[in-house]
Chains A and B, each alone.
Chain A
Amino acid sequence: MIVAGANGSGKSTMLKIIAGLLPSSEGKVTLPEGDARHTLGYSGLDLNVYPFLTAIEHVRMARDFRGTGENPDELLNRVGLTRAANQRAGEFSTGMRARLKLAIAVQAKPQVLLLDEPSASLDEAGRELVENIVNQQRQRGVCLIATNDPLERRLGSHVLELV
């Protein structure tokens, strides 16, 4: 599902509320049963990674926390970060950081995947990666993408327009 709307309409806020990163003033979020660390994945523009940790250390840490998930090397290969696996995230470009955040978001194969403008800083190959991730997510559960990008909007079967 695509969450669209003008700047300031609350697209990112809505995704953060669903992810449990912001409290809601009203209403209730119901997620699939189970530990949210496994059932929910989130990648957003203002989510930061640790500047002193390498890409591989990030995904290993996320797997240690969740106790499950894809093999770190395979995961980094999937998001195109194999060559930068041992590079510190602080030295990454914005696009590489976005790929790393995507890797962490999909690592546990979540039922609900929340992506806030996932292609915003990505190149053509990165856009294809997002498309692949969304296609895989369709078979697994739900994917909510907050965006106004016409190319990203094509990835959704439904559009929720916020006003």
Chain B
Amino acid sequence: MSSSWSKEILAVLRKEIQSEIRGKSGLLNSLLFSVVTVVTVSLSTFGHAISATFGAGMIWVALLFASAVALPRSFTLEEEQGTGDLLRLIARPHAVFWGKALYNLILILIVALVLGGLFLTLVTIKGDKPVVPWLFAVSLLGAGCALAGAVTLCGALVAQAANRSTLAGTISLPLLLPVLFLGVNGTRAGLGDGVLETGLTATVGLLCYGVASLAIGPYLFAEVWKH
């Protein structure tokens, strides 16, 4: 990657982080949602262990909604506040997409870290085997990549549509279903249920999905962005 590209991508990332720190909207909402979910499950199952499969499903529901709350806003906000045209005049679409995807990846990894840490601390898990911490951590890293890729792509494609909320729901379903399937399998194995190899394969699948959506995304986005 040339220094020009990296400079442009970092400029988008810097802008997003500055806006997030000063505006305090996306990350805070996602973290609150995650904390409330884990604390609610922890209180409702107090004194009882929950199965690793149920735990993995719960983590993924929380991750999915937390990312759905915050991530697509990086694109829709540009159109809502009317800054999309300024970006169109000075930036290349590929740099915009990758910069925003990188920001989304950082955001979702922070949420996944807090969510995973709280979950292991507050909720008692009953699996076939003990928790495999490294696989659990890698599955959350894969979750970050795949969710950042899928949700950035979804946000980028719907941002300029008049009925973007409806469209986002329609587009995100086929994009997120494979992520959910792979993610639940990976996290389940990390929490001690199912076959370790299956979990590892699912996690690698998540990482590949993330890389693929980040590679294809800018080309689709470039078409929508200029027209």
B19 touches A21 (CB 8 A): no
- Which of A's residues lie within 8 Å of B, judged by CB? 19-21, 23, 37, 40-42, 44, 46-53, 57, 61-62, 64-67, 88, 104
B86 touches A47 (CB 8 A): yes
B11 within 8 A of A: yes
Known pairs A67-B4, A67-B7 / 9 extra A-B pairs, C-beta < 8 Å: A21-B89, A48-B83, A52-B19, A61-B11, A61-B14, A61-B15, A62-B90, A64-B8, A65-B11
A21 to B88, CA, bound (A): 8
Q: Which of A20, A48, A57, A64 contacts B86 (CB 8 A)?
A: A48
Query: Which chain B residue lies CB-closest to A19?
Result: B89
Main secondary structure of the interface of B (DSSP, over half): helix
B82 touches A37 (CB 8 A): no
A104 to B85, CA, bound (A): 13
Which chain A residues lie closer than 8 Å to B126 at the CB level?
A: none
- Which of B's residues lie within 8 Å of A, judged by CB? 4, 7-8, 10-11, 14-15, 18-19, 22-23, 81-83, 85-86, 88-92, 95, 226-227
A9 to B19, CA, bound (A): 37
Chain B: minimal CB distance from A21 (Å): 5
Query: Which chain A residue lies CB-closest to B5?
Result: A67
Which chain A residues lie closer than 8 Å to B81 at the CB level?
A: 48, 50-51
B86 touches A104 (CB 8 A): yes
A20 touches B226 (CB 8 A): yes
Q: Which of A21, A57, A65, A67 has the most CB of B within 10 A?
A: A65
Q: Which of B18, B85, B88 has the most CB of A within 10 A?
A: B85
Chain B: minimal CB distance from A106 (Å): 12
Which chain B residues lie closer than 8 Å to A104 at the CB level?
A: 86, 90
If the complex has contacts A50-B15, A52-B22, A53-B15, are A65 and B91 also in contact, measured as CB distance less than 8 A? yes
Which 7 A-B residue pairs are closest in the complex by CB-CB distance?
A: A48-B82, A64-B11, A52-B22, A65-B90, A52-B19, A65-B91, A62-B90
Which chain B residues lie closer than 8 Å to A51 at the CB level?
A: 81
Which chain A residues lie closer than 8 Å to B8 at the CB level?
A: 64-65, 67
Which chain A residues lie closer than 8 Å to B90 at the CB level?
A: 37, 61-62, 65-66, 104
